[in-house]
Each structure stands twice: as structure tokens, then as C-alpha cells.
Chains A and B, each alone.
Chain A
Amino acid sequence: MKKTINIPYGSQHIALLEPVRFQFETQNEKIVGVKADIGYVHRGIEKACTSTFEYKQIPSVVARVCGLCAITHSLTYVMAVEQIIDVNVSEKAKYLRMLMVELDRIHSHMLCLSHTAENAGYEALFMQIMADREIIMDIQEAISGNRVQFDFVCIGGVNRDITDEIVKFIIKSLNELQPKIEDIFDMFENNWSLSLKYKGIGAITKENASIYNALGPLARAAGLETDVRAESDYYPYEKIGYKMILEQTGDIYGRNRVRLREILSSIDMIKNILCDIPEGNIIEKVKGKPNGESVARLEAPRGEIFYYLKGVKQAMLDRVRTKTPTFSGIPAMVEIFKGQEYGDVPAILASFDPCMSCTAK
């Protein structure tokens, strides 16, 4: 007689955020095997980038790979193009780009925390975090003119300048946000019923995290020191007080803690950025057509984002390769599920912060 039962989870499921299908092989309540199917939302963006759009239009195209990481996708692409056509971006543009990336990190982490709370059965906390997240969305709207699709970055710099009025507004809003985040931190730390769902569940060791190439908060919660912000000197992150945030437990609780502490450190970094934005042009003139190969990496909220470009002296690029954080995170996620209870799956999956529209592109 067969000893195990197969239970599908997705592609449509009540506790699932995005279309992905997991096939769990369970023994009683325990998961012993997992298969993941990720190709539900493949839209062929790489093909569109090399057959329909010219290289100057692509920042708007790749921004639409994923709504949450709109800024990181277009920024990584732009960094790769700037390497091929030799454009030197001014310091001011670099600071404005860092500002948007850190704001993006805050609101993406808040979304993930709210979903983790919801999938652990705490609907009120979900509502509260989503309401507080509006503060960041308003800041982004004030800077870029739009809530989700910023179209803020362009080849050679950024499209819009920041005014003193906006700087004041950002500092006021961040001061308002900080105590709220501390409240939420307290809730995640001390709430007894949440700790039953979080502590010791969905854990990964440091060894396994590096064997399966975990990224972002997933790896940092297990103590693996990987962060693109520390691994490149394209942006002056050390100047604005960047510190790598590590936890050792590797479970859902650890991941939540990494995200909460990263939000607080991002708030500090944004305040530092606003204090010392240098003077200068925000945009440089771009001439020529891309010829050659280049790669660019950037730390998105979920981990490392990677672009490979190849140009052959034409307005259309020869190859655009996008590697998104969730795509490389899938093997580690599959590994974590093994040995867990089936009932914990929604909370574990939400704590990975999976983005399927990024993964399938």
C-alpha cells in the first residue's frame, strides 16, 4: 500500500498570493517531498526587450515585470546599459536612486510582514501594517508622481529632481512611521499566539542556505552574509551608514526580525541621504548605441537582482537576461518545506515573500 499522499497547493488556493503550484508529498501531516511548478505567468518580457523595444524604452518595459520591485528592475537594467555606453552618472542622481531603492525596500518588507501576519491568522495586524504602508506610498508618489509605476530612473540619471518641500514632507512622514514600526516590532516579538506560528518553524541552517544559494532576507535570517549593498561599490552605501543585518535562527521569526530591522535601518539611511544630497545635474546626455556585454547586480527587497545585456551596435539589444531573486530562491524554499507540517505551509510560504510574476517574467 502507498504510504504517502500527494496534496497540490495552488495554482489557485485560498491562502496563496500568486500563481505557483507546489505538489506536496505528505506522510500523515508531515511533508516528505516537494515539487514546484513556476511557469504560470510567463509573459516573454525578455523576448519583447529584444524584438519590439529599443534600448532607451526598455527601462519602462522591465519596470512592469513586477509592481513591487518596479524601481529595482529598471535601475539594474539602466546600470548595465550605462556600463556599455560609458555614461558617468552624477553623485546627485546616485543619491536619488538610492533614496528610491530604500523606500521601495521599506514598503515591500511591510507588504511581506502583513501577509505573514494574515497567513498566521492575524487579520487585524495585516490591516494595520497595510494602512501604515500608505505613508511610504505617499512619499513615493510625491517624489515620482505615481504610486506604483515610478518611471523615475532613466539612462544617464533620474527624471525628476527633489525639492525642499518634498524633503520636509519625507522627514515628517518618516518620523511618523518610525514609532509605528516599533509598535509592530513589539507585536511580532512579544505576541504569544504569533510566536506559536513563527518560532522554530520553517527553519534553514546556514550550511543549507549556502548550498541552495538562498538570497536576501531568507539567507540573512540564517546567518549567511550575502548582500549586494556590501558587495559592490557602485553606490556609496557605507557613507550613508549601511550595516548588514543578520539573524541566526533561520526560521519565520528570524526572517520577520531581519525585515523589521532592515526597515528601521532603511529609515535611518534615508534620513542620512536627505541630509547630504550633493549638488549637480540629475541627468547626463546619452549618445551612441550599445556594443558589448555587461552585467549589473542590485539588492532588491527580496534579494539579488541580476541583468546581463549584450548589444551589437544597434538600437535593439541582442540579449537581455533577467535573473530575479525569487527565481534563485525556489530551491532553498523547496528544501525548507521538507519535514514541516502541512498546516504551516501558508505562513512559511508568505514569509519567503515570493514574487511569481518576477520569477516567470
Chain B
Amino acid sequence: MKKIETNSENLKDDISAFYDYKIWHYITVNGVDLGDKMEIQYLFKKYGNKEEVVCYFLTMDYEKEIPSIVSIIPSAYLGEGEVVDMFGVKIKEIPKGLLLEEDSCQAPLRKAQ
């Protein structure tokens, strides 16, 4: 896995400069709890090619809000929705409640809980 670091300010510029739907297959958005902050990963793979998976990642505080990449990759709302539900992070324009209901346990994959 080839990892490239980015941050919340440059995320949209980086992804839109990198992503071309004819060349890259968007895999998913992934969240990892590092203990005191979150790492959000955006994973891509080239079509018809044996190169390794490319991963853009950013680290963020729990309370901060990051922009959504739905305007660049329309199918990313599911992956982002899952991260929002599972870790309780905030992503602009992505509502809660894709997998969890309001009365169920909130942010189950957060380490503090």
C-alpha cells in the first residue's frame, strides 16, 4: 500500500488533481482510531493494472470537521457515512444514521468507549 499524506485543507484539491474516473477505481473511505486522534484514509486502485493500492490519508482531531469528497467522487457518500457512524467524526454534508439508529450505541469503534 502506497501512502500519501494530505490534510483537511488540501484534501479536496489533492483528490481532484489525482482522481480520474476513467483510470482510478475508488475502493472506499476508511477510518482508524490512533488513540488520541483519527486517521481517515481514501483508497484507490488503477483499473487493469497490477500496481499496489494507493492511499491518501489525513489525521484529524475528534472534534474537527473535514470536507466531503462527494463532489469529486459521487459514490463516496456511503464510505464517508460509515466512518461518520462508526467513529462519530464530523464530515461536512454527510448526515448520521446510515447503519446505526438514533437509540443504538453511538460511535462503537471509538477506542475511548
Are A and B subunits of one complex?
yes
Distance from B26 Cβ to chain A, minimum over Cβ atoms (Å): 5
In the complex, what residues of A have CB within 8 A of residue B48's CB?
Answer: 225-226, 230-231
Majority-rule SS of A interface residues: mixed
Query: Is B106 at the interface (CB under 8 A from chain A)?
Result: no
Q: Are A295 and B43 in contact (CB under 8 A)?
A: yes
Q: Are B25 and A213 in contact (CB under 8 A)?
A: yes
Query: Is A50 at the interface (CB under 8 A from chain B)?
Result: yes
Query: Is B78 at the interface (CB under 8 A from chain A)?
Result: yes
Inter-chain CA distance A212–B27, complex, in Å, is 11
Inter-chain CA distance A327–B77, complex, in Å, is 11
- Tell which of A50, A233, A323 touches B28, judged by Cβ atoms closer than 8 Å: A323
The interface on chain B, measured as residues whose beta carbon lies within 8 A of the other chain's beta carbons, has a size of 34
Distance from B83 Cβ to chain A, minimum over Cβ atoms (Å): 10
In the complex, what residues of A have CB within 8 A of residue B43's CB?
Answer: 295, 306, 308
* Nearest residue, chain A, Cβ from B82: A327
Query: Is A340 at the interface (CB under 8 A from chain B)?
Result: no
In the complex, what residues of B have CB within 8 A of residue A64's CB?
Answer: none
Q: Interface with B: A36-44, A169-177, A277-285, which one?
A: A36-44
Q: Which of A42, A294, A306, A310 has the most CB of B within 10 A?
A: A42
Within 8 A of A (CB), among B11-26: 21-22, 25-26
Distance from B77 Cβ to chain A, minimum over Cβ atoms (Å): 7
- Tell which of A44, A232, A318, A323 touches B27, judged by Cβ atoms closer than 8 Å: A323
In the complex, what residues of A have CB within 8 A of residue B41's CB?
Answer: 308
Q: Which of B32, B73, B99 has the most CB of A within 10 A?
A: B99
- Known contacts A213-B25, A225-B47, A231-B45; A321/B30 CB under 8 A: yes
Query: Is A293 at the interface (CB under 8 A from chain B)?
Result: yes
Q: Interface with B: A151-159, A256-264, A328-336, which one?
A: A328-336
Q: Are B99 and A38 in contact (CB under 8 A)?
A: yes
Inter-chain CA distance A226–B50, complex, in Å, is 12
In the complex, what residues of A have CB within 8 A of residue B77's CB?
Answer: 331
Q: Are B1 and A231 in contact (CB under 8 A)?
A: no
Q: Are B86 and A46 in contact (CB under 8 A)?
A: yes
In the complex, what residues of A have CB within 8 A of residue B75's CB?
Answer: 211-213, 328, 330-332
In the complex, what residues of A have CB within 8 A of residue B25's CB?
Answer: 210, 213, 226
Can you give 11 contacting A-B residue pairs, CB < 8 Å? A210-B22, A210-B47, A211-B74, A211-B75, A213-B73, A224-B47, A230-B48, A306-B43, A319-B32, A319-B33, A323-B27
